[in-house]
Amino acid sequence: MLNQSQLITQAVEILNDTTGPPQERLVKGFKVFYRATIMSEDWPAHLWDKYNAICELALAGGTVQKTADRMDLKSAGEYTQRVAREMAGLAAALDLARAQRLIPPPVVSLLRASDHSWAGPAEIAGTCG
């Protein structure tokens, strides 16, 4: 199972991947990012500022899909790279905040890294020891 920072990094990898159109990668990457950040109420304000900046970029068109649909391939590729840089910055800041004990240790996500679906009860029970 992956922690928040690892899932955000996975979203960055999706955005930086060269297979598929950048519009599709933007949508997929943002979905992983959103799922990774659902349980983030313990974040300090500076992390929320980074989070909000990413959301403003990705949701500029109202939804991430509308944002992606408005762009041609070239501008979507550049935009996707910009969002990826911002997400990578948030992941690094999150790791630093945890190292400085500004927030509690990472919680293991109930997402599977391979398919981004919610883990089942058997997998959840397997994480307890």
Band the pLDDT of 47: cuts 50, 70, 90.
very high
At 2, the pLDDT band (50, 70, 90 cuts) reads: confident
Mean pLDDT of 92-98: 92
Question: pTM for the whole thing?
Answer: 0.77
Mean pLDDT computed over every residue of the chain? 83
- Which pLDDT band, with edges at 50, 70 and 90, does 90 fall under? very high
Q: What is the pLDDT of residue 113?
A: 47
**DSSP for the chain?**
---HHHHHHHHHHHHH--SS-HHHHHHHHHHHHHHHTTT-TT--HHHHHHHHHHHHHHTTTSSHHHHHHTS-HHHHHHHHHHHHHHHHHHHHHHHHHHHTTSSPPPPPPSB-TTT-PBPPHHHHHHT--
Percent of the chain with pLDDT over 90: 63
pLDDT(14) > 70: yes
